[in-house]
Amino acid sequence: MARTLRPFVEREATWAVALAALGFVSMCATLPAAAVLGVRAMRRPGGGDGSEPALGMLAFGVAWLSFLLAYPAMRTIVLAAGQPGNWVPRIFLGSVAALAPVIVVLSGLAVRMHPERWVARRMLMTGIGVAVVATFAQAMTLVLGGLPAWFSLS
C-alpha cells in the first residue's frame, strides 16, 4: 500500500490546532508553538487543499479558549509568586518559560521531519508529551497543594 505524503502546510496547521488544544493542560506552555505554527499555516502560499488558513484561525480560537481555561490557575500561581519568600511558584513560572521555547523547537522539528523517520518522530512527540505532563503535574501540585485559591488585590 502506497503512503501519501501530506503537504508541509497541512502538517503545520494540524500541529497548530493540536498544540492549541493542549494549551490548558500545559498551563499555556504550548500556546507559543501553536501561535507560530498557526501564523505559518496562514501565511504560507499553496501546497495544501486550501483549508490551512482556516485551520490556522481555528488554532488561534482554540488557543484563546485554552488561555481562558488556564487563566484562573495561572493567575493564582502568579499572585503567589509575588508574595515574599514564596519560591515554588517562581520556579514553576520559570519552568513554563523554559519549556515553551523547547516545545516550539520540538514541534518545528516534528513538522519538518519526513514521516518515514517514525522513530525520531515518536521521540519528538514523546518529548512534547513529557513537557506537557511535567508542566501540568507541577501546576496541579501547586494549586492543589496549598496555594490559596484567591488573593485579595487590595
Tell me if 59 sits within 8 A of 84, measured CB to CB: no
Q: Say what the pLDDT of residue 147 is.
A: 64
Closest listed residue to residue 11, CA positions, set 126, 109, 103, 118: 109
Residue 84 lies in a domain: yes
Q: What percent of the chain has pLDDT over 90?
A: 38
Residue 1 lies in a domain: no
Residue 140 lies in a domain: yes
Quickly state the pLDDT bin for 144 (edges 50, 70, 90): confident
Residue 125 lies in a domain: yes
Residue 29 lies in a domain: yes
Quickly state the pLDDT bin for 36 (edges 50, 70, 90): very high
Residue 107 lies in a domain: yes
Q: Domain count of the chain?
A: 1
Tell me if 29 sits within 8 A of 68, measured CB to CB: no
How far CA 140 is from CA of 2, 8, 64, 76, 112, in Å, comes to 45, 36, 21, 12, 33
Residue 153 lies in a domain: no
Q: Say what the pLDDT of residue 152 is.
A: 47
Residue 150 lies in a domain: no
pLDDT over 80 (residue 154)? no
Report yes or no on whether pTM surpasses 0.95: no
Give the tens place of pLDDT for each residue, 103-132: 999 998 988 887 788 888 899 999 999 999
Q: Provide the residue range defining the domain that includes 74.
A: 8-144
